[in-house]
Each structure stands twice: as C-alpha cells, then as structure tokens.
Amino acid sequence: MIGLLKSMATTMKHALDGSTFTVEYPETAPDVSPRFRGVHKFSQERCIWCRQCENVCPNDTIQIVMDDQRNGEQYNLHIGQCIYCRLCEEVCPVDAILLTQNFEFTADTKHDFVYNKEQLKAVPWYKDIDPLESREPDRSAWIGEGEGDVDYQ
C-alpha cells in the first residue's frame, strides 16, 4: 500500500509542478544540433562531377547523368529514399553536396521527393546554419593509404 501511495504521490507531484517537456511545434521550432543531418543541398558551381557520391551511396539514392563529353547533365537525389548516412558529404572533395539541418519536407507522392539539381540547390538552410562550419570534415582518413596498395578507385 505504501508503494502504491508513493507512486500516486509521484505523479501528483508532476501534475502540480506544471512543467512540461513537450513543445508546441511548429510555433517553437526545435533546435537541432550543428551536426544534424537533414535534406541535401547541392551546388553545381562547386561540383566537379567525380561521381564519388553516387558510388559511395549505399542504396542508390543519388543518380548522376553525364553527356558523352563527361560533362554533368543531371544530378538527381531521392530524398525520400535517402537514409541520411552522410557518406556523400563525407566523400565529396569540394563540398558540393551538403546535408543541411532542414528536416521539414513534405510531398503529396513519393515521386515528388526525387529532387533534381535545381530543387536541391533551392533547399533552404535551417535557421541559417551552414553545417560545414561546425562539422569540420576530417578527410584525412579518406585519402589515407593504409598499409596495402594505393587504391585510386
């Protein structure tokens, strides 16, 4: 009986102290950490069309189309299929593809989630945070050679 009353007292204490841990979204936009990975942003100006992101993507989310002179034509990214692993950002040598903190995206059908390069460019920064500043991508590990043969892939 004591335990029963104790648990009732605990919940009553919470009811009376008036504190809440939920927030009123969207009025209170949650803070996300600087490293948070959201929808991609793509910069065609920076991209050198090396196709490393397409290569490293675990589930073929990125699709790049090139013409016969190996100039980039299309850069498509299915943000509905993406698993937000950030490997594309990690391999990109020129920071052309980034993951913003933007997690708010909706569409009527899943096909609307296939973004082309213009749509990817138009993705807004979340609260004007540029993720690169906080992430300091450490690429030394990526160009490391290990002990075996150098592999230029």
Partner 1 sequence: MVGAITRTPLQNDDTILLPERIGDLTGLDAYGTGGELLAIFLAAFLIGNLMLAMTGVAGPWAKRKITAAFTDRIAVNRLGPAGILIIVADSVRLLSKELIIPENADRPAYDLAPIVIASSALLGFAVIPMGSGIHLADPEVGLAYVFAVAGIASIGLVMAGYASSNKYSMLGGLRAVAQNVAYEIPLVVTGMSVVIFAGSLQMSTIVEAQAATFDLGIVSIPAWYALVNPFAFVLFLVANFAEVGRNPFDTPEAPTEIVAGYQTEYSSVYFVLIYLGEFLHIFLGGAIIATIFLGGPAGPGPAELGIVWFLIKIWAVFLLTQWLRSAVPRVRIDQLIEIGWKGLLVLSFANLVLTAVIVGLIA
Partner 2 sequence: MSSGLERTRPVETTEDDLEALLGDRALARDDHLNAPGFVIRPDDVQDVLSDLRDEAGFDHLSCLTAQQYEDRYESIYHMKKYADPTQEVSIVVPTTTDDPVSESAAPVFRTADWHEREAFDLVGIDYEGHPDPRRILLPETWQGHPLSLDYDQEKPQLVTLSEHANPIQPDHHDAESDTMFLNIGPHHPATHGVLHVKTVLDGETVVDVDPDVGYLHRCEEQMCQQGTYRHQIMPYPDRWDYVSAGLLNEWAYARAAEDLADIEVPEYAQIIRTMGAELCRIASHMLALGTFCLDVYGDFTAVFQYAFRDREVVQDILEDLTGQRLMFNYFRLGGVAWDLPEPREEFIAKTRDFLDELPAKVDEYNDMVTSNEIFQVRCIDTGVLEPEVAKDYGCTGPVARGSGVDYDIRRDDPYGYYSELDWDVITDDGCDNYSRVLCRMREVEESAKIIEQCLDLLEDWPEDEREIQANVPRTLKPDADTEVYRAVEGAKGELGIYIRSDGTDKPGRFKIRSPCYHNLSALGEMTQGEYIPDLIASLGSLDIVLGEVDR
Binding site residues, partner 2, CB under 8 A? 1-4, 6-7, 9-11, 14, 21, 32-37, 56, 58-59, 83-87, 90-91, 134-136, 138, 141-148, 151, 153
What is the C-alpha to C-alpha distance for residues 52 and 87, in angstroms, rounded to an integer? 10
CB of 139 to partner 2, least distance (A): 11
Q: Could you say which residues in the range 1-30 bind partner 1, by CB under 8 A?
A: 4, 7-8, 10-12, 14-15, 18-24
Cα 57 from chain centroid? 13
Give the other-Cβ count within 10 Å of 87's Cβ.
15
Closer of 12 and 116 to partner 2 (Cβ): 12
Token representation of residue 126? 């979340």
Q: Where are the beta strands (DSSP E) in 92-153?
A: 97-99, 114-115
| Peptide bond preceding 26 in cis form (omega within 30 of 0) | yes
Size of the site for partner 1 (CB under 8 A): 15
Closer of 62 and 117 to partner 2 (Cβ): 62
Closer of 69 and 140 to partner 2 (Cβ): 140
Quote the Cα angle for 152-59-31, to 5°. Answer: 100
Which residues would be at the binding site for partner 1 (CB under 8 A)?
A: 4, 7-8, 10-12, 14-15, 18-24
